[in-house]
Amino acid sequence: MNGCSAHTPGATVQRIELALAGITDMAAANRYLKETYMPAFNAEFMQPPAEEGVFLALDRRAAC
């Protein structure tokens, strides 16, 4: 983790959500994110591409 998540809007809400789900360790948190959080997030926000075949690779190291 690069420290950016502490300043991400909603990070406190996400930590509360994990606590309310009874998450107490990293393995359980990763499982929750994969099985519960990401599917719900994608269902709400995922959109089909505006054009097929368009891809822009981002350098994730420079994200913060």
Is 33 within 8 Å of 42 (Cβ atoms)? no
From residue 42, give the alpha-carbon distance in Å to each of 24, 25, 48, 64: 24, 24, 11, 22
Q: How far is 41 from 38, CA to CA, in rounded Å? A: 5
Can you give the pTM of this predicted structure? 0.54
Max Cα distance, the chain (Å): 42
pLDDT tens-digit profile of 44-59? 998 887 778 777 778 7
Give the CB-side neighbour count of residue 53, counting CA atoms within 13 A.
0
Q: Which H/E stretch holds residue 44?
A: helix 38-45
* pLDDT tens-place string over residues 18-37: 888 899 899 998 999 899 98
